[in-house]
Amino acid sequence: MNDMKKLTSIELFTGAGGLALGLEASGWNHLGLVERDRHACSTLRLNEAKQHSLAKNWKVIEGDVRSINYQELVEGVEMVAGGPPCQPFSLGGKHKAYNDHRDMFPEAVRAVRELRPMCFLFENVKGLTRQAFATYFEYIRLQLHYPTCVRKRDENWEQHLSRLEKLYTGRTKQALRYKVVSRLLNAADYGVPQYRHR
């Protein structure tokens, strides 16, 4: 029997729970799974009700991440994970990125800023890494690097990016700072029977 304490996590944009199952299998204990789609939440609850070995203690929070108060939800969480909606960056979509109301990376950054986890893990489609989105991808990375450098009310994202770049290249220290690493991975290389780049 393994007596090691499981590390705690919260997952945003959970969908039907694929990432959540993988993280539970690797030793994480989800304190909350946030998902707004009622059908996906039904799937999550069914797995929990049927006492699936990895899902038996899940707390499903059905709602929009934009309305979540993280201080009321959990405390002392060690990881924030999730897959923000991919439609703004998908090769098959309209490619609106930051102009798409479904771009939830700002909410992912807010969760990191408010929960201050030990680490975080976000996945998205390969399309996010294409040249057309290179500047915005760097903006996402720098926001995660310095989550307490918040966008001002009168700032557009490019102006905020400029401020983040000055912070990154300057000597000013931030109280909360993460080392951010990004990788393009193919699920087929990890035993999944399909080519799925994330």
Cα 146 to the chain's mean position, in Å?
A: 15
Number of Cβ within 10 Å of residue 42's Cβ equals 13
Number of Cβ within 10 Å of residue 188's Cβ equals 12
Residue 111's identity, in one-letter code, is A
What is the H or E stretch that residue 79 is in?
Answer: strand 79-82
Please tell me the distance from the alpha carbon of residue 138 to that of residue 107, in angstroms, as a whole number.
Answer: 16
Catalytic annotation present for 86: yes
In the three-class reduction of DSSP (H, G, I as helix; E, B as strand; rest coil), residue 148 is classed as: coil
Kindly state the greatest CA–CA separation across the chain: 55
Catalytic pick from 41, 86, 119, 149? 86
Long-range contacts of 41-45 (CB under 8 A, 24+ apart): 43/16, 43/17, 44/14, 44/16, 44/17, 44/20
Active site residues: 86
